[in-house]
Structure 1
Amino acid sequence: MYPVEPDGSGPRQWAPRRRRMLPWWVILAAVLGVVLGVPSFRSALSSAAGLPGGSANGGANAANTGPATGYAPGAGSTAQQNQVQVAATAAAPAGTDLPAGWMNTATGPLGPADREFLTKVRQAGLWEGPAGQMAQGRAADERVKEVGKQLAADHIGLDQQVREVSATLGVALPDKPSDEQQGWLDEFSSKTGADFDLAFANRLRAAHGKVFALVSSIRSGTRNDLVRAFAQTAVNVVMKHMTLLESIGNVNFNALPTPGLPAPNATKATPAGAWRPDAVWAVAGLALIVGAVAAFRIYRGTRGTRRSPAY
């Protein structure tokens, strides 16, 4: 005998007994936590979807973190330098997307700031070397003559190195100083004695302070291994020259630019039209929540009316 309905209308229809499950919102929260909170899972999904943060950018990241070539401009044998130049001019890895104005090299991406750095170092040598030579015949203070001689000698070596690096990377360099630098040389040529000493120390100290800001910035952030190695050399030379010029004793520090503090909580601006991964994931998460809630309501409504077949 099968049990019948209380009203005797026929066999009782049994609804399946519900199993105890975690609340739906707990399951949904766990899924969202995995998707949005685990970096490796986000990276895998980003790679599959072609969003920033996945392996699509692996080429650029590998170029940034790849091993250095060990190139030290001006050091080692000519054969070693030739080997580095051959490696740097070899075919760069393909498939790496770079912003406008950048180019791939075997030693890493080369950007506009890198080329500007090489240009500024070249121009510095084109006027500081002649200025140091002028000091030998126009300065009154023997210390000025000594400093001028050291600056001229250092820039001969630095100029050779910057030309080697630039030739390796295919960067065109100027063959004369800027108009402002030429004006300083003209000023030096019109002065002698104490007037020359004062102009020499202050003009060159101020110029070194300006170029040091660029050189240290490149050393800190360049993506190119060859440029980074040369920037380290340039940092050392510029710091040495600032110390030598200050040792003359007549630098007017009050005339130098006042150092400024970085803006608090400064954030790097996102280029127009660029993907914003956080915004993409926020929208994806919201869509997942809405879809899960809608699916759960449909499922619950259907489950409430479903019955097992009568026996």
Structure 2
Amino acid sequence: MVRRLFVLLALMAATPVAGGAVALAASAAESPSASPVLNEQDRTFLVDAHQGNLAEIQAGRLAEKQGTTQAIRDAGTTLVRDHGKLDKDVMRVADKLGVALPDKPTKKQQAQLDAFAAKAGTAFDKKWVSAEIADHRGDLAAGKQEVSDGSSQQVKELAKGAKPVVQRHLEILKSIKGGG
């Protein structure tokens, strides 16, 4: 699934603890001692994170409109807000490092968004929550890979800062799926 680590970074920005981590990541990104050297892992992470954020914002808007429960609609609002904040950080770092970012989600992400839009009622809720859980698990794995294999301290700090946000999103989604 789409790497949704970017989503997690955005969630982090929405909470006091998460906000601090994003601020830490932002200051690390602006630090002259931060490594400007990028490897393919760093570039891939930035591109995937940006496209993931774009997709999460759209998915969140769909949940706000089509979700049948307040919990689904609230989760959608959280994704829109947090991924918007996260994407600003990703775009800032990518710009600073000279990494060009696409202007839309991947074809696979767009197909998933189209599939969400075609669903209604509880069928939408179930598909949306299940897909978001899988995506957030993938985001956690992508962040872990960036931290271990990336070469840019700035990009690695983005990944580290995103982890608590992504975990928080995952907890919210699992709570919705479990009915609790």
For normalisation by structure 1, the TM-score amounts to 0.47
Match of 1:75 among 19, 23, 44: 23
Q: Which residue of 1 aligns with 2:38?
A: 110
Task: Give the deviation of 1:140 after TM superposition.
Answer: 0.8
1:206 aligns with 2:154: no
Match of 1:172 among 100, 104, 120: 100
Q: Which residue of 2 aligns with 1:84?
A: 30
Match of 2:79 among 116, 139, 151: 151
Residues 125 and 156 of structure 1 are in contact (CA less than 8 Å); yes or no, is this contact kept in structure 2?
Answer: yes
The alignment partner of 2:176 has SS state of coil
Matched residues in 2 for 1:226 and 1:214: separation? 16
Residues 136 and 166 of structure 2 are in contact (CA less than 8 Å); yes or no, is this contact kept in structure 1?
Answer: yes
Task: Give the deviation of 1:135 after TM superposition.
Answer: 1.2
Matched residues in 2 for 1:170 and 1:217: separation? 21
1:234 aligns with 2:180: no
Bigger drift between 171-180 and 208-217 goes to 208-217
Matched residues in 2 for 1:109 and 1:151: separation? 31
Task: Give the deviation of 1:223 after TM superposition.
Answer: 2.7
1:269-294 Cα distance to aligned partner (Å, 9 max, x none): xxxxxxxxxxxxxxxxxxxxxxxxxx
Residues 109 and 223 of structure 1 are in contact (CA less than 8 Å); yes or no, is this contact kept in structure 2?
Answer: yes
Task: Give the deviation of 1:199 after TM superposition.
Answer: 0.8
Higher helix share: 2
The aligned amino acid for 2:30 is: V
Counting matched residue pairs gives 158
Gaps of 5+ in 2: 1-19
1:207-244 Cα distance to aligned partner (Å, 9 max, x none): 22222211111123433221121111122222121111
Please give the residue correspondences for 1:214-225 in structure 2 after superposition, counting only pairs within 5 Å: 214-225=142-153
Please give the residue correspondences for 1:1-311 in structure 2 after superposition, counting only pairs within 5 Å: 75=23, 84=30, 87=32, 107-249=35-177
For normalisation by structure 2, the TM-score amounts to 0.79
1:70-119 Cα distance to aligned partner (Å, 9 max, x none): xx88538xxx96x927x37xxxxxxxxxxxxxxxxx61531001111111
Higher relative contact order (CA 8 A, sep 6+): 2
| RMSD of aligned residue pairs (Cα, Å) | 2.4
Question: For the pair shown, which has the larger CA radius of gyration, 1 or 2?
Answer: 1
Matched residues in 2 for 1:250 and 1:197: separation? 12
